[in-house]
Structure 1
């Protein structure tokens, strides 16, 4: 009994020393000593109080054992480390991007050779740091990162073109830049749709000009619209399979796709979809699928947006976004991993008829499930 009492007393003393060390660290990094997040098991860093109350909470409730890195109290290293890991995953040279796009140009080798020329062509005569394509890719990444408007990016390209030496290869407008960059991107498909969301003009309906039930035209009313072939409604479909292939071709991202199986902490806390009961149900129903951690677990999300940013406008279009849950929690909800798969034109929401628009996506997902695709 004496040994047990002494052991407990020693542990209690060590805990008190640890609490004081933690509180001193938090005070040293606090902007307001009366508003410090409490890391006890009940507050979980959600409640901000003064040090004396935090000390009492930690003694009565104990500290949250999952709080290993004190990121809410001034310890910055883990966040920076995650940012470096994320940046490392996307550090990709333009020549690698061109090689990834090779399969898309099997039927058009001349255009692929044009891409290779842009990779090697100096930005201006005598330039050794940037090529035409590498400079454009870096500038466009900045545009996306800081949400520059199209007009501001065009003005920037124009100004840079005047600053650079004569005979430089930098495009003078966003339009010219996109013509170069689109060659690196993923193709999309425009699919005509019935205005009332009944069918897509695919498969057996592909060559129809009128809906077989009510006879409504496939095209916009008006002679000019019909002559120019303007459809009454359009679905923009961005096939996910080529983008999945790009994920697996990147060595760093390919490692991250197995994070849920290799590096996830198994302590009963819900931090990732892999900790949820629904994930375990899938593992139980399809054990062969669960046996390979690289098999993708996907989620779909849809919402309406007003593309013109006018509250008075009734027009809206609906987007369907796909999310890959294999990735670590700090990556799976990043914009660069959220894949836009469908864009349903307005002006009305599809409602319960959204299943009509999901048909091409479902076909591709069935192909992945039943047959599979080489990366």
Structure 2
């Protein structure tokens, strides 16, 4: 379809005709209840309207620039005849009819997970029961009873182990298995995936999920293939890959049991145990046989497999080059690629920017209370990565975010967040040098690189991630030591002035004393420190991570009494008598307490004194 009308003036007849043809196309392909998404420059495909309103918006506001592939209006990413869908079974067969009635796309998902095209994988030998004979005639979009074939099997590099081959075969079998005899809408695995999606959206517990599975299993016809518990369903979904790693942490955030320290039992800094101990545990044989429970767990989601998975999908892989191939370069800021930071980075690192598939990432992190109540003080910190290669209408959608890790509470990590970021930093270093990956859109192997360019957070979290304190006299990370701060003695806090330094040298505000702080501002704006300046400031500095061992606020009375006796015994009898010689002066005449009673109560006095300390 001709799309040249998008760049023409809105009062041009060609533009108006193009809008009407677009609406006609969208109504045929993607209308829901007589409405379609509006791709004008204000709606950004976020709102649905009837065709008349969409036409009015497009003529009045203009068509969304850069939206060249109408994926939200029924247009496919298929661009060549070799990528046209074709059935993999003989026409008229029962399997072909059933396949056409259930297009869940899970075959393509399995291809993305396992990458069946590879020289090390004998596809015909392993999958001879599930792969049709005419597989080579179809592309990666063709459906074959839940399995999608791929052309040129040996073009893609894959290192498949026998266990992965067995996993793949079992999952393909589950994709082909009906939910119950005669079900045409869902397969076994597609229905379970749908249930898991609803569980995540609505916050179902594992117990409620199991109860729902049991109810559905009793309601469906005999022969249903549903699992009977949440545990069994989770085992099935786990085979799709992209899981997470559980890394143990010191309870005081001193160190991460990872890498060389993976097998240690105690913290190198504070000496705390890696495991939680019950109050009744005394270290006996029964306690040793009991399964140990980690004191704190970091859930880390490896980044490299997830970036590789993005490029294994032919649809998303082509969009990862949008910032270079699909972006309109007219000097207007619509995407981070139009900004100075992106362009300056490309100029400095030509090896990285020469390939548009190199991934630019942003990192966002902040704490939140997962219990949805303010009466409970608990702070969990997710760390999320955003791939900015994608077009603006996709990169900021929740489905495009990459969850990197979940830092457990109950308190925020503070400056010790560096301990948790170690696995991510190690992967980012590896990605800077490049890793092998496969681009499904071009069907080529390439060296995938990635760089972290920005962090997105509020000012307190900015201090934790950058290492620069955002409190006190020099709170501004950009101004550094040139921060203009003043202490308000009555308010007991700092205020930050000097904002007139960024004005033009001859600006009238610089000379208006009474309207500001009573001074004439002649200083120039401070220069933000460069990366090499920050590294120079950090030379020779050392920081001790961790929040220290948590000493108990209350000590056992027996321990306190023992300490008190030791302290008093060291004083000696002479000092005891000397301390209480003048006891009659403060006891008073009305009391019959004797000197012996006072001296005999030395233990209680010492106990109270030490407990107060």
Query: What is the TM-score of this pair, normalised by structure 2?
Result: 0.45
What CA distance in whole angstroms lies between the structure 1 residues aligned with 2:335 and 2:64?
20
SS of residue in 1 equivalent to 2:367: strand
Give 1:148 deviation, angstroms: 5.9
Structure (1/2) with the larger helix percentage? 1
C-alpha distance in structure 2 between counterparts of 1:182 and 1:361, whole Å:
22
Cα deviation for residue 343 of structure 1 reads 0.8
Query: Which residue does the alignment assign to 1:260?
Result: 323
Kept in 1, the 8 Å contact 2:255–2:268? The answer is: no
Give the number of equivalent residue pairs.
309
The equivalent residue for 1:95 is 107
Deviation of the 1:183 alpha carbon: 1.4
The alpha carbon displacement at 1:200 in A equals: 0.7
Determine if contact 2:248/2:256 at 8 Å carries over to the other structure. yes
Residue 175 of structure 1: CA displacement? Answer: 3.8
- Partner of 2:369 in structure 1? 306
Q: 2:254 aligns with which of 194, 198, 216?
A: 198
Output the CA distance in 1 between the equivalents of 2:62 and 2:189.
43
Aligned position for 2:161: 106
Which residue number in structure 1 is paired with residue 405 of structure 2? 342
Superposition pairs of residues 341-360 of structure 1, within 5 angstroms: 341-360=404-423
What is the match of residue 330 of structure 1? Answer: 393
Displacement of 1:97: 2.0
**Displacement of 1:92 after TM fit?**
6.5
Cα deviation digits, residues 323-345 of structure 1 (max 9, x gap): 00000111111111111111111
In 2, Cα distance between the equivalents of 1:301 and 1:66? 36
Residues 255-305 of structure 1 deviation map (CA, whole Å, 9 limit, x = unaligned): 110111112122322211111111112101101211111110001111112
Name the counterpart of 1:83.
Answer: 72
Could you give the per-residue CA deviations for residues 78-116 of structure 1, whole angstroms, max 9, x where no partner exists?
8x9553479989x97112222333379736244443222
Q: How does 1:28-39 map to 2 (within 5 A)?
A: none
Choose which of 136, 141, 149 in structure 1 pairs with 2:204: 149
Q: Distance in 1 between matches of 2:192 and 2:384?
A: 27
Query: Any idea what SS the aligned residue of 2:273 has?
Result: coil
- Higher mean C-alpha deviation, range 193-202 or range 322-331: 193-202
Task: Output the CA distance in 2 between the equivalents of 1:107 and 1:364.
Answer: 27
**CA separation of 1:342 and 1:107: change in aligned 2, threshold 3 A:** farther
Per-residue CA shift, 1:126-158, capped at 9, x if unaligned? 4344321123234444555x5463477556544
Tell whether 2:241 aligns with 1:185.
yes
Residues 1:137 and 1:105: Cα distance change in structure 2 (over 3 Å) = farther
The two structures have a TM-score, normalised by structure 1, of 0.72
Aligned partner of 1:238 among 293, 301, 317: 301
CA distance in 1, matches of 2:230, 2:187: 18
C-alpha distance in 1 between matches for 2:77 and 2:224: 30
- Return closer, same or farther for 1:167/1:220 CA change in 2, 3 Å cut-off: same
**Offset at residue 196 of structure 1 (A):** 2.1
Contact 1:122 1:130 in 2 (8 A): yes
**Cα distance in 2, alignment partners of residues 70 and 125 from structure 1:** 47
- Unpaired segments ≥5 residues, structure 1: 1-13, 16-38, 46-64, 72-77
